[in-house]
Amino acid sequence: MSETETGDHRLTRHSRDDVVTAALRILDDIGLADLSMRRLAASLGVQASALYWHFPNKQSLLASVSDRILDRARPIGPGDLAGDGQAGARPADRPPATGPGDSDSDGDGDGDGEWQAVTRAEARALRDALLAYRDSAELVSSTLALGLGADQAVTRLQAAIARGGFAPATAHAAAAALLHFLLGYVSHEQQRLQADSLGVVAPAARASAHENAPAAQDAPAAQGSPVPHETPPAEAGSAEARAALTGTAGFDFGVGLLLGGLEREPRLSAR
């Protein structure tokens, strides 16, 4: 942000980054429905027409806000994989086995299903980034539908899935399916939180959500700090218990179903 004096007037010039930051603040404070160009301009002390110097329309502005949210998803490190129950975990930055001379003994890409651990960690990081801002899932979903941005989510998920030795087309399709689940799940969570704050959620549903998604577990983490994720309890094996899973437990269960189905797909390195 810079200031220029013209006669008796002082003009404030905001950068593109300033505008996105202000839009993100409004999104988190009052929600996507009330994020208008006029309100945004007023918060910056400028006329609405000044915003179009940086963005040709509101959709392109919202796309930049979506990118900012997803860019804040923490990078995956060994700490994200330590508690995932995957044997022989490999550092997240090591590429998958791709040829006969690599150490993958069964020829199916990543050893011991470690690609699943990395994919789950990526999905969790993206979910945490979305939960940090109100209405973020709806915003990112709209941006993706219009083809205006938010590509980094699919890119991260596809790279994780590709570690399993899947064809690029399969990895991309699986990443898109997983992202659709992620956005739908978080959108439901955020709608439930807003409805709960207004006192319009049925008592039974509210109790179930609180039991399965304690505040300490689902609160967004500080940048670079992974949010702890608990494994669904052993007694959650019945159909009724699985249906009641919400919060992180329900999210992990859904991701597991998708990755379990993907295991049936052929691998490029299979012999």
- Tens place of pLDDT for every residue, the chain, 271 residues? 444 444 433 446 789 999 999 999 999 999 999 999 999 999 999 999 999 999 999 999 999 999 999 999 999 887 777 666 543 334 444 444 433 333 343 444 555 478 999 999 999 999 999 999 999 999 999 999 999 887 999 999 999 999 999 999 999 999 999 999 999 999 999 998 887 777 766 665 555 555 444 343 444 444 444 444 544 544 545 555 555 678 899 999 999 999 999 999 999 855 4
Instruction: Report the distance separating Cα 153 and Cα 156, nearest Å.
Output: 5
Tell me the backbone φ, ψ of residue 4, rounded to 5 degrees.
-130, 130
Cα dist. 125→28, 76, 78, 100 in Å? 19, 8, 13, 33
Instruction: Report the distance separating Cα 185 and Cα 137, nearest Å.
Output: 9
Region class of 96: left (phi > 0), else alpha (psi between -120 and 50), else beta: beta
Closest CA to 124 of 165, 156, 171: 156
Cα dist. 158→87, 123, 186 in Å? 22, 11, 19
Instruction: Report the distance separating Cα 124 and Cα 224, nearest Å.
Output: 13
Instruction: Report the distance separating Cα 30 and Cα 26, nearest Å.
Output: 6
Instruction: Report the distance separating Cα 47 and Cα 105, nearest Å.
Output: 64
Q: What is the DSSP letter of 12?
A: E
- Contact indicator for 74, 226 with CB cutoff of 8 Å: yes
Instruction: Report the distance separating Cα 185 and Cα 188, nearest Å.
Output: 5
Write down the pLDDT at residue 60.
96
Write down the pLDDT at residue 63.
96
Q: Which domains does the chain have, with CATH numbers?
A: 2-55 (1.10.10), 75-262 (1.10.357.10)
CA 13 to mean position of chain CA atoms: 32
Region class of 258: left (phi > 0), else alpha (psi between -120 and 50), else beta: alpha
Number of other CB atoms surrounding residue 24 within 10 Å = 20
The burial class, CB within 10 Å (0-12 / 13-18 / 19+), for 2 is: exposed
Write down the pLDDT at residue 218.
43
Cα dist. 37→62, 128, 141, 242, 255 in Å? 10, 27, 20, 43, 37
- Contact indicator for 158, 172 with CB cutoff of 8 Å: yes
Tell me the backbone φ, ψ of residue 160, rounded to 5 degrees.
-70, -45
Write down the pLDDT at residue 237.
55
Write down the pLDDT at residue 7.
42
Cα-based torsion angle of the residue sequence 48, 49, 55, 58 in order, rounded to the nearest 10 degrees? 50
Write down the pLDDT at residue 93.
47
Write down the pLDDT at residue 170.
96
- Contact indicator for 131, 220 with CB cutoff of 8 Å: yes
